[in-house]
């Protein structure tokens, strides 16, 4: 199903992505107003059927697993920030990062939305090391969309082949389960998710770019 351009959520950038097909949407209330957005990056590293995630030890998102990233500094491009943050959060990793997605997140608790440029890498150099903020951990990637769904519905499953736990969707941002399977299948996409005061997803819209 192609995405209706009129339905692209306000505040979400979609430069250069002409053909969009709807991945999923939910929520019937209005989008929260977005007056300003803060620019962040997030990078996901995959190797041999495993995904590297970081357990956030402090700050916003504490206790959740996520990719590696942070704020884009003044004068930096998102790609430069993504490389710097990956290196900093994993104490010395360098990787060839490919831009894959643009996301916007809003909640009534923040005054500036989070605009996140998301990157992907399959090769990296250096040794994955815990930093003050993130504890890195490898997870098994389900090999089909149906397996992703099963792992989302029945968390804490372990992959027999590698002995690793599957992606811990139950300990990640709630929207990740909506787009990470498509992201790991190689899709580029854009999306927005608004959270409620209870910290749960209220409204979401994600579309794949062709």
Ligand X SMILES: Nc1ncnc2c1[nH]c(=O)n2[C@H]1C[C@H](O)[C@@H](COP(=O)(O)OP(=O)(O)OP(=O)(O)O)O1
- Which residues lie near ligand X (CB under 6 A)? 40, 42, 59-61, 66, 69-71, 105, 114, 116, 173, 175-176, 193
Q: What is the SS3 assignment for 189?
A: strand
Alpha-helical (H) ranges within 24-73 are none
Between 159 and 176, CB nearer to ligand X: 176
Q: How far is the CB of 109 from ligand X (least distance, A)?
A: 10
Q: How far is the CB of 191 from ligand X (least distance, A)?
A: 9
CB 97 within 8 A of CB 120: yes
Between 76 and 150, CB nearer to ligand X: 76
Q: How far is the CB of 117 from ligand X (least distance, A)?
A: 11
Furthest CA-CA distance within the chain: 48
User: For the stretch 149-178, what's the b/e string if a residue is b when 16 or more beta carbons lie within 10 angstroms of its beta carbon?
Assistant: eebbeeeebebeeeebbbbbbeebbebbbb
What are the structure tokens assigned to 188, written together?
Answer: 């580029």
Q: How far is the CB of 120 from ligand X (least distance, A)?
A: 15
Between 119 and 163, CB nearer to ligand X: 119
Between 3 and 116, CB nearer to ligand X: 116
Pairing of β 94-95 and β 98-106: unpaired
């Amino acid at each position: 199903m192609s995405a209706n351009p009129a339905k692209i959520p306000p505040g979400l950038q979609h430069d250069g992505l002409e053909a969009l097909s709807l991945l999923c949407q939910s929520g019937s209330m209005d989008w929260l107003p977005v007056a300003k957005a803060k620019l962040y990056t997030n990078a996901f590293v995959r190797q041999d059927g495993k995904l590297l995630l970081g357990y956030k030890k402090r700050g916003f998102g504490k206790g959740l697993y996520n990719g590696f990233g942070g704020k884009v500094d003044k004068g930096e491009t998102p790609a430069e920030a993504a490389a710097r943050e990956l290196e900093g959060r994993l104490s010395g990793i360098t990787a060839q990062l490919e831009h894959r997605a643009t996301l916007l997140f809003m909640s009534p608790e923040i005054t500036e939305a989070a605009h996140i440029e998301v990157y992907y890498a399959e090769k990296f150099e250096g040794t994955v090391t815990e930093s003050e903020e993130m504890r890195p951990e490898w997870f098994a990637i389900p090999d089909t969309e149906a397996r992703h769904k099963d792992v989302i519905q029945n968390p804490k499953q372990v992959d027999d082949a590698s002995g690793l736990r599957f992606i811990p969707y139950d300990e990640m941002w709630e929207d990740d389960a909506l787009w990470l399977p498509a992201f790991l299948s190689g899709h580029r996409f854009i999306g927005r998710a608004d959270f409620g005061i209870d910290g749960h997803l209220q409204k979401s819209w994600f579309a794949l770019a062709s």
